């Protein structure tokens, strides 16, 4: 009887381990697929960035994607310094960047509000005097 119970328990554990192994293989396959998709997306964005840099300068750039990105950021920073208005800077950015920035700002505001609501709900919670009550990033 004891032998039968222990062998049944071992079989059940072996089945559980097999199921877990299959689940892990499935997750690994999904994650590797996502990684490949992100790598393709990054490469296409680097190509787009290079093309944008070439269109702005009117010449072909043979630098790596990082150098092109740095040049693009420097040009945007100099343009931002030239135009002091927020709307002027936004007009220089692609619409996808503006949409992503807006989404991130909304998400940040939502999380900050959620955190502030939680802090208010905690009895005895006091803000530190040197910490501002609301932060704007």
Which tens digits make up the pLDDT trace of 87-109?
555 667 778 888 888 889 999 99
pLDDT of res. 85: 52
How much is the pLDDT for 81? Answer: 56
Q: Give residue 33's pLDDT.
A: 92
The answer to the question of residue 66 being in a domain is: no
Per the structure, the complete domain to which residue 94 belongs is given by 84-122
Per the structure, the count of domains in the chain is: 2
Over its C-alpha atoms, the chain yields an Rg (Å, rounded) of 27
Report if residue 5 sits inside a domain. Answer: yes
Sign of CA dihedral 95, 100, 103, 109: negative
Q: If pLDDT is split at 50, 70 and 90, which confidence band does 36 have?
A: very high
Taking only the tens place, the pLDDT of each residue in 9-23 is: 888 888 888 888 888
């Amino acid at each position: 009887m004891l032998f039968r119970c222990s062998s049944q328990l071992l079989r059940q554990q072996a089945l559980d381990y097999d199921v877990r192994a299959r689940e892990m293989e499935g997750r690994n396959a999904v994650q590797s697929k996502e990684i490949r998709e992100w790598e393709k997306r990054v490469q296409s964005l680097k190509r787009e960035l290079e093309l944008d840099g070439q269109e702005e300068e009117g010449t072909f750039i043979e630098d790596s994607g990082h150098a092109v990105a740095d040049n693009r950021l420097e040009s945007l920073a100099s343009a931002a310094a030239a135009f002091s208005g927020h709307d002027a800077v936004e007009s220089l950015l692609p619409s996808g960047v503006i949409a992503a920035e807006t989404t991130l700002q909304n998400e940040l505001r939502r999380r900050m509000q959620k955190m502030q609501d939680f802090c208010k709900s905690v009895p005895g919670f006091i803000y530190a005097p040197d910490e501002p009550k609301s932060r704007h990033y």
